[in-house]
Copies of this chain bind each other. A is one copy, B any other.
């Protein structure tokens, strides 16, 4: 981030005021209803300052959620080698992120999401749009959004048992063991044709939003990226 010439205290307070406005807007209006200009007006700053701190609407969204890693960066990197071993790479990346200083906001993220409907709504839209839709789009498999949400359910549950409630043997297990235990499950969710064959009617009344809209159209069952 470029130096601004302001005192850090002022910078921090301004940034925090923009973030508060952003959280309110994302929660009230959803991602599509939010504009940089609107948030700037609400925070009583120039729109250029919002862009200076957060680069883009995406960047502001990620900061509002306090999501510690950038899906634009890590998802293509994890998917690049193809489908083979993707399950294990995902578990490994997830654990490495939690165990690194970068991952320290993750516990706070889980806490605020569980305590607070507004935080849950922002995270839901962020995860659906920025994480699941990207994975789904890249996968080129049938039911990509379902596959991605099954993967997310196993990883979030792992975090709850290993880092929040700290149940053994998961809490103290070595990373490579956890990768060996859960990798095949994620690989199954991502690539096994049976996951979707078993489900004849994957959703009820409320259609999935975000992930589905973007990723559903080219429904292929090819697994051309594998191996």
Name A residues whose Cβ lies closer than 8 Å to a Cβ of B.
110-111, 113-115, 120, 123-124, 127-128, 132, 145-146, 149-150, 152-158, 160-162, 164-174, 177, 180-182, 184-185, 188-189, 194-195, 198-212
List, in ascending order, chain B residues with CB within 8 A of A149's CB.
161, 167-170
Contact A203 B168 (CB under 8 A): yes
Q: A180-B199, A198-B180, A199-B180 are in contact. Are A150 and B174 (CB under 8 A)?
A: no
B165 touches A160 (CB 8 A): no
Beyond A124-B167, A185-B189, 20 extra complex contacts between A and B, CB < 8 Å: A120-B164, A120-B165, A149-B168, A152-B157, A152-B167, A153-B170, A154-B157, A157-B157, A157-B160, A160-B160, A168-B210, A171-B206, A172-B204, A172-B208, A173-B203, A174-B204, A181-B198, A181-B199, A184-B194, A185-B188
Task: Check if B166 sits within 8 Å of A120, measured CB to CB.
Answer: yes
A146 to B162, CA, bound (A): 12
- 22 A-B pairs within 8 Å (CB atoms) are namely A110-B114, A114-B115, A114-B160, A114-B164, A128-B167, A149-B168, A150-B181, A152-B161, A153-B158, A153-B162, A156-B157, A156-B161, A160-B160, A168-B208, A168-B210, A172-B203, A173-B203, A173-B204, A177-B198, A177-B199, A180-B199, A184-B188
